[in-house]
């Protein structure tokens, strides 16, 4: 199937917003402290931390098409040698910001995507990482995106499906002057998980949630004018308005229409929550 640029944009924004909704919500997190800008989010359980990590790994993985050279929805591929975060859904948000279709002002989207990308691509320095199964202690410098994705796969798959990640761990240790074979790499998997998922990911979860939530708000702000253009009421049922959306030019494929409609409903739901919160604040101040 072939999709126009505006159809591709609706599909990508729907996918990204839905993925962030799955990762950043109160089923996964519980707030710690007063409800202020300094609110800390902690996972409710070890299981929700694991789920959050797996979902983040999916978000940070490249889009692929099994058995075909082209990608779904006629989407472009990042070129070899691109920055690490381009091999993720952040690449498509950059493309949207560079050539916006549904909105005009993508500056906030650029800002939030680049902030998260820079954080992901930055190295994490961990001193004296002890791997008892191979009797190795080593200081490691690993890009956050690298260990996040390795641990996402460890959390999702059994060791029998982790050959590629084992090779990455072997290469990481090799770069740091510690040579091990692939068999030893398999024995390291639980220890790598403990260091980087149980400790580092748990430490960074609130920060990651903030970055993702900022992207979600930036998408909302970008789409808010389009919602204002497209929304119209068609009647009333049980004292509630019946509404529809005027599709923009270029959205013709049934799948793209569905994605666009769902996306506008996401904007509508968030807009209504913002209005309710504003009314509560106004009432409290009276």
Could you give the maximum distance between any two Cα atoms of the chain, in Å? 72
Report the pLDDT value the prediction gives residue 40, as an integer from 0 to 100.
Answer: 74
Report the pLDDT value the prediction gives residue 8, as an integer from 0 to 100.
Answer: 97
Report the pLDDT value the prediction gives residue 280, as an integer from 0 to 100.
Answer: 63
CA atoms within 13 A on the CB side of 75: 25
Report the pLDDT value the prediction gives residue 73, as an integer from 0 to 100.
Answer: 92
Write out residues in the chain with pLDDT < 50, as ranges.
none
Residues in Cβ contact with 4 at an 8 Å cutoff, skipping those fewer than 6 apart: 250, 251, 252, 256
Q: What gap in Å lies between CA 275 and CA 281, rounded to an integer?
A: 10
Note the pLDDT tens digit of each residue in 242-274.
999 999 999 999 999 999 999 999 999 998 888
Label residues 229-268 b or e (16+ Cβ within 10 Å = b): ebbeeeeeeeeeeeeebebbebbebeebeebbbebbebbe
Report the pLDDT value the prediction gives residue 201, as an integer from 0 to 100.
Answer: 94
Report the pLDDT value the prediction gives residue 39, as an integer from 0 to 100.
Answer: 67
CB 260 within 8 A of CB 246: no
């Amino acid at each position: 199937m072939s999709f126009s640029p505006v159809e591709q944009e609706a599909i990508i924004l729907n996918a990204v917003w839905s993925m962030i909704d799955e990762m950043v919500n109160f089923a996964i997190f519980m707030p710690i402290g007063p409800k202020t800008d300094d609110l800390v989010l902690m996972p409710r359980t070890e299981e929700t931390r694991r789920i959050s990590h797996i979902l983040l790994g999916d978000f940070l993985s490249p889009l692929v098409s099994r058995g075909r050279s082209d990608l779904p929805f006629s989407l472009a591929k990042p070129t070899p040698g691109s920055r690490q975060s381009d091999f993720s859904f952040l690449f498509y948000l950059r493309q949207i910001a560079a050539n916006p279709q549904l909105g005009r002002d993508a500056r906030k989207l650029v800002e939030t995507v680049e902030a998260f990308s820079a954080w992901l691509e930055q190295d994490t320095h961990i001193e004296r990482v002890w791997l008892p199964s191979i009797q190795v202690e080593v200081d490691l410098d690993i890009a956050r995106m690298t260990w996040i994705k390795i641990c996402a796969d460890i959390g999702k798959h059994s060791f029998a499906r982790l050959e590629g990640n084992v090779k990455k761990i072997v290469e990481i240790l090799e770069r740091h002057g510690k040579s091990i074979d692939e068999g030893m790499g398999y024995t390291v998997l639980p220890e790598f998980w403990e260091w980087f998922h149980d400790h580092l990911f748990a430490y960074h979860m609130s920060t990651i949630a903030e970055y993702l939530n900022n992207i979600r708000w930036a998408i909302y702000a970008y789409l808010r004018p389009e919602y204002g253009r497209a929304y119209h009421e068609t009647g009333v049922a049980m004292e509630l308005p019946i509404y529809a959306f005027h599709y923009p030019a270029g959205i013709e494929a049934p799948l793209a229409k569905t994605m666009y409609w769902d996306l506008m409903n996401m904007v509508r739901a968030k807009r209504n929550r913002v209005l309710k919160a504003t009314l509560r604040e106004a009432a409290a101040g009276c």
